[in-house]
Structure 1
Amino acid sequence: MTTIRTAALIGLGAIGAAYAERLQKHLKHDFFILADEGRITRYKELGIRVNGRDSRFRYKPLTSPAESAGLIVFGVKNDQLDEAIDCVRPFVGPETILLPLLNGISSEEELKAAFPDNPVLYAMCVGIDAQRDGRDIRYSKLGQITFGTRAGEYPEAEAAVEQLFRDADVPYDIPDDIWREMWWKFMINVGVNQTSSVLRAPYGIFQTIHSARSWMEEVMNEVVQVSRPAGVGLNDRDIARFRPVLDSLSPEGKTSMLQDIEHGRKTEVEYLAGKMVELGGKYGVPVPENEQLLKVIRILEKM
C-alpha cells in the first residue's frame, strides 16, 4: 500500500487550519502550507491560533524549488480553485493524491481535468463549526472528512489517505456511495449556508426557531427534487438526517457564507443557488427558492 509521507494544504481558512493542526502534529516537518510570499509574511506576523493554541505551521512559498507532496489538500473557496490549481502544479508529482474540501459538486471534476494522471478523491467536511476571527480559529466540533472514490477508481489512494487520517487522528468516514454523500452535503450547503447568510443567523436560530428551520428545509427540498432526474435520488430521509448534525453544532457557530457576508467577501452563491438554477433548467425542475436566494445574495455581496 502507498504510504503518504509528505502532505500540503493550500487555503488556510478556518476549516483548513483546523485539520492542518492535526496533520502537522503527525507529519511534523513533512507537512507544509502552500501560499504566496505576501500571505506567508502576514501569517507569520499575525500568528495563527487554533482553539487558543499557537500553530507554528511550516510555510512553503509558491516560488520555492518544487518539492512534490504525497497529498495536497485544497481548502480554498470555489472561485479561488483555478488559481490554486496553477499554484500547486510544481508540487504535484506523478503519485500525488489530490483531496478537495470545497463546497459544491464540481471541484473534483475540475481537478481531474487539470491533473488527468493523478488520483483525485471526492471529499467533503461534515459537522465542523470552525470560525476565524483574525488570527484566532475556533471550533467546538471538528466534524469529519468524508471521502472516497467513484466506481473504485483509486483504491490505493483511498487506503493511503485513510491510513494517514487514522495515524493523524483526523476524523473521517468512507461511505459506500461518495457521490450520493456529495449531493447530500450540497443539499446542506444550499439550505443552511444560503438562508443563514440572508437571515444573518448563527446555527442557534435554526436550532430554536421553527420557521427558520422550515425555510431551510424547503430550500433543501429543491435539491432533493433536482437530484432525482440527476440520477442521485435524495429523499426526505436525507433532510431528516441533517437535523441531529445541525443540533449538535455550537449555537453561536456560523456558516462560511454568513462569515463571508459579515466580512464583505464574495460568497459561493454561484456554486450553490447558481448551480441549482442551472440544474433546474437542465432537468425542467422548478427551483423558485434558489432563484430568489441567488438574486438576494448577489445584492448582499454588493452592500
Structure 2
Amino acid sequence: MNTGQAHWHILGAGAIGSLFADALSTDGRQVSLILRDGVHGKIRTQAVERGDLVSEKHFKTTGPRGHTGISHLLVTTKAYDVCSAIDSVVHRLNPDCNIVLLSNGMGFQEQVLASLPSLNIYCGTTTEGAHLLAAGHVRHAGSGETRIGRAAKIADDRRPLWFHQWERAIDNSVWDSDIQPALWTKLAINCVINPLTALNRCHNGELGASKSLANQVAPLRDEIAAVCRAQGHAEIAEALPRITAAVIQATSDNRSSMLQDIDAGRLTEIDYITGYLLEVADQHSIDTPLNRALFEAIKSRAH
C-alpha cells in the first residue's frame, strides 16, 4: 500500500470530523465523507472558519453501502454510534485497513477491537475546539493537541507509516506509545465537567466561579481519582485537581457537549463517560455515589 497516497474516509462529519477533513485535504490527502444518506460521488461543500478566515473545501461523499474499499478510516461519531457506524461499512474495509477512533468517551474501543481483531485499530483524543455554526459550516474555536496510539499494546509500538503524513496535516499531533493515560485523563475531566454543566445548564467556567458548584466539583473529583488509582493511573489521580481547574478555566466560555446534546434533545454520551467510570469502579469494588447520582440524573433527563 502506498501510504503517500492514503485516502481517508471520515465517519462522522460533524465539527471535529469536518475540521480534520479540512486539514487532511489542505495537506493534499484525498478525503471522502461517509454520510448516512450519502450518494456516491456527490459533492458536499464544507467551510471551516478560523478567526476572520474561512476555508472552503469540496468533498466527495458516499453512503455506507458503497463498494469502494477503505484503507484509512477516521471515526468521529458520537460514542454510542461508533460500533454500528463501523459495522455499516465493514464490507468495505481493506484487509490492512487503518482505523482511528477519535470519538469521546471509553468502552467502544474494546468493542471495536473484539469485533475486528485483524485490523489496525488506533485510539486518539484531541483538545481541538470546534463547533457547528450550520450544516457544513464549522468554527474552529481553539487549537489543541491530538494524541494517537494503538488500541492494543503490541511489541512493536513504533509510529505507523501513515502517521508521518498525519502529523504534517494535523497541527500538534503526537504519537503516544501508551495511549491509555491520555484517554483516562480525558475521561476523568469529562466525568467532572460534562454531567455537572449539563444538569446545571451552565458554561464550564461556572464550575470554578460559583461557590456552590465548586463545592460539588471537589468530592466528585475525589471519587474519580480513586477509580483512576485502582486502574493503575496514580499520576492522573494526583494531577486531577490541577488539570480539572486548568481545563475549566481554559474552556470557561464553552458549553459542554453533553449540555448541548440535552438542549438539542439528543442522546448523550453519558454511558461512555460516567457509565464507563462506574463499570470500572464496580470491578474494583469502589463506591462512587456522587458519580452514580449524576449518571442517573442525566439518564432520566436525557430519555
Work out whether the TM-score is over 0.5.
Answer: yes
1:2 deviates by 7.1
SS in 1 for 2:230: coil
Structure richer in strand, relative to its length: 2
Name the counterpart of 1:267. Answer: 268
Residue matched to 2:89:
88
Question: Aligned in 2, Cα 1:202/1:54: closer, same or farther, shift over 3 Å?
Answer: farther
Alignment-mate amino acid for residue 243 of structure 1: A
User: How far, CA to CA, are the matches of 1:295 and 1:43 in structure 2?
Assistant: 42
Give the distance between the partners of 2:283 and 2:140, measured in 1 at CA: 38
Mapping 1:281-296, distance limit 5 Å = 281-296=282-297
Q: Which residue, out of 44, 61, 66, partners 1:64?
A: 66
Change (3 A) 1:289 1:161: farther
Q: Secondary structure at the match of 2:142?
A: coil
Contact 1:145 1:173 in 2 (8 A): yes
| Greater helix fraction, Structure 1 or Structure 2 | 1
Distance 1:169 1:211 in 2: 39
What per-residue deviation string (whole Å, max 9, x for no partner) do you get for residues 135-163 of structure 1? 2322321322211135345645x332431
Equivalent position of 1:167 in the other structure: 168
Equivalent position of 1:7 in the other structure = 8
Alpha-carbon distance in 2 for matches of 1:43, 1:63: 17
Identical residues among aligned pairs (%): 21
- Call closer, same or farther: CA 1:168–1:39 in 2, change over 3 Å: same
Cα displacement (A) at 1:173 = 2.0
Change (3 A) 1:211 1:7: same
Tell me which of 237, 240, 243 is aligned to 2:239.
237
Q: Give the structure 2 partner of residue 49 of structure 1.
A: 47
Report if the CA contact (8 A) 1:100-1:107 is conserved.
no
Match for residue 131 of structure 1? 131
The alpha-carbon distance between structure 1 residues 236 and 48, as it changes in their structure 2 partners (threshold 3 A), is same
* Alignment match, 1:104: 105
TM-score, with structure 2 as normaliser: 0.86
Cα deviation for residue 214 of structure 1 reads: 4.6
Q: 1:90 to 1:96 in 2, by over 3 A?
A: same
Equivalent residue of 1:124, what SS? strand
Q: TM-score, normalised by structure 1?
A: 0.86
Taking the aligned partners of 1:297 and 1:39, their CA distance within structure 2 comes to 36
Residue aligned with 2:232, SS: coil
Task: Tell me what 2:223 maps to.
Answer: 222
Quick check: 1:123–1:182 contact (8 Å CA) kept in 2?
Answer: yes
- Matched to 1:31, the amino acid is V
Unaligned runs of 5+ in 1: none
Deviation at 1:217, TM superposition (A): 4.3
When residues 228 and 75 of structure 1 are mapped into structure 2, their CA distance, relative to the original with a 3 A threshold, is same
Residues 41-89 of structure 1 show CA distances to partners (whole Å, capped at 9, x for unaligned) of 9994xx54321443322212223222222x2111011211222121221
Query: In 1, Cα distance between the equivalents of 2:224 and 2:43?
Result: 38
Aligned equivalents of 2:279, 2:64: Cα separation in 1 = 35
